[in-house]
Structure 1
């Protein structure tokens, strides 16, 4: 029997750096219903400063300033949703804040995952409790601290009566396999290299429907070079981010040969499609549900379908906002002091209550 249904807000700013997704969800013990959603813009200046920091050019002062600026940004995003929907602050139980990942290194000598965006600013300015810092408890327990989406995918898709896999294509792509033992991991790059390359050569933030990629041809030598990276052969649990798949990584693959920019874009799209499809085909699934920003790239979806001919590929309901919904749900779990079923996904020694509560 379902318990009391409460309203939660979820905020997600992913590795694509293409904006802040904010959702309002009604959540109880058995369901998470999307009530409303909003994509709030990330300024070009803040995006550039974040990318500069990720590239390793930073100071402690800059880290503190980015943390504060992101806290203000998330506060503005929540305010925009509350005003648009005419929602009383008192009706919101809590906000689940992922934060902006700056660096993710769960397998080093001193494992950590860093997300910035001061939750104290968000709760001080909205008056709503905030749950943040979800990943570091999992890392402290020996886990990857990512991906978290599989636990939510199990919650919302677990009753589908077929063999289903879910693929989220954000900046980084991840896959969830709903089985007796939940499996989930990052498959590799999603949109991150595609967006980076077209921004550098066309001056736009993304390749709508893969139109520029369509104009190029696959460079199979380049594709083989990229697919030979050790990450793709690593066993799960595993996770990755911009600290791996970035400008320097791509430049190392391009060294020694001249490439037409549109051919590189086409090859990068194939890299994303192939690295996802290879993982889908590892498991005997009838259906793959796509979500995340990459699910809106019709040419990318077309290539995934072509590479998985015996699998039904479809777009999940609320595909753009499932990641933000994940963090609304994780806030619900934290407020109710419920453990999250992630150890089989991340490799942590145990499941745990995740996130810090800022009141």
Structure 2
């Protein structure tokens, strides 16, 4: 099927492909395979498209804190309350994680979700271990902690409750104004220097956002959320990410100017990354929404990634190179200088940490 001639799948970021093949898994013909979804979009009699429904499976892992030693990220531990993300951002670097479970990094990633309702209990048990030493926990590094199903499950809020009780610092990254539902907790944590919140703003064009991030909050809502966080005294950061050449880079300077005007403390940018199945998914998205400039976009992407769609290597994967990369870097630096913004310098306090009570025990102090 020529995707350039096919209608876009409304309300979803992925436009079809990518059954996982990296792990020697057999190609599936049923049970969520993207080809089944594509066949269901129009019935045999030419009726209206079938809406793709989101399903949520509750899982009960044995641990909730993931530790890493990556030199490219500023944290060594994270908590992810969900797997998969209904926001449907077509560029999401976390999509390939669904392949580990024999699910498509395409439509499955944004329609077949997993929730971890025991996350708070697991976190409490981890923090209570005698050998545990506190460092900021990062939330939102894999899938968004405030995606739509958080309104139902409230797992992120329960995790924040544990962190507040234990006086444990947290950083949050999201694309949703749903973060404001927890403003009471965030404001209290901010008073104790226990939290910082980053909101990603990719574009200021709501129509473009609806194609790139179909179920994430509109850009205007994200800006308002940043404003309310600032007003509540919560340390805030805006991530102009990802920068997609010839698609979103035109908004870079205006986003910096807008967030500076509302008092956001810092701003940063991350270039587009296309690991594993994300690259063909993104190419297909381009063929549907921007067929006239797809070759240009991918040409620039390859130019900043050493001639490849993606650079997976430590130290360089987050730092593009080449003329285009230098241009984006220079533009961003000038925009920040004009706006009076710098890099994030959130100094969260780990000294207040107190192991939480477990098993119904009362706290002694």
TM-score, L = length of structure 1: 0.26
Whichever of the two has the greater Rg, that structure is 2
Larger relative helix fraction: 1
